[in-house]
Amino acid sequence: MASENRYCLPAGMPMPDPARSASFHHGFWEAARRHELAVQRCRSCATFQFGPEEICYKCHGFDLGWEQVAPRGKIYSWERIWHPSFPALKEACPYLVVLVELPHAGGVRMIGNLIGDQRRDPPIDGAVEAVFEDHDEGFTLVQWRLEK
């Protein structure tokens, strides 16, 4: 990652817009802005669920909250993308996408970019930590890097 580039991917990527999304999405993005990792959790039966949903799939309760969890996980799968699906990505290819599992939060998974050498194959099950990528437009993306 070039040092002048504060972001994993170039400008021009689609920006998350939680304000225009259903309210059950808001907690994740508010926490990320505070550099915290939050996972939706049912207040009735304590089930973690992600992506967020309006109902708990386990007990069918509608009382869902957000729980701050340790910003760590392990790589469940990964891919290296060579074909740019947006014009903005032309210069960024190849780049790595990881699917990160959070064993301490019900095993939920999240998508992010992996910071570091984009040409090196990431280890599946490798431990990663969250990196909070603040954008001037007012949102924060949760990215990942291998733990030292």
* β-pair partners for 32: none
DSSP state of 28: H
Cβ 22 to Zn ion, closest distance in Å?
18
Footprint of another protein on residues 34-53 (CB under 8 A)? 49-51, 53
Yes or no: say if 58 and 45 are a contact pair by the CB < 8 Å rule: yes
**Taking Cα atoms as reference points, which of 147, 131, 148 lies closest to residue 8?**
131
The Cα–Cα gap between 122 and 116 comes to: 10
Cβ 40 to Zn ion, closest distance in Å?
10
Residue 23 as a binder of another protein (CB under 8 A): the answer is no
Which of 9, 44, 72, 78 is in the footprint of Zn ion by CB under 5 A? 44
CB proximity list for 147: less than 8 A, separation 6 or greater: 72, 126, 127, 128, 129
Tokens standing for 36? 């915290």
Which of 86, 127, 138, 147 is in the footprint of another protein by CB under 8 A? 86
Site string for another protein, 127-146 (x = CB under 8 A): --------------x-----
Tokens standing for 136? 């001037």
Cβ 85 to Zn ion, closest distance in Å?
36
Interface positions with another protein (CB under 8 A): 8-9, 12-18, 20-22, 25, 29, 49-51, 53, 57, 76-83, 85-89, 92, 94-95, 97, 99, 108-113, 124, 141
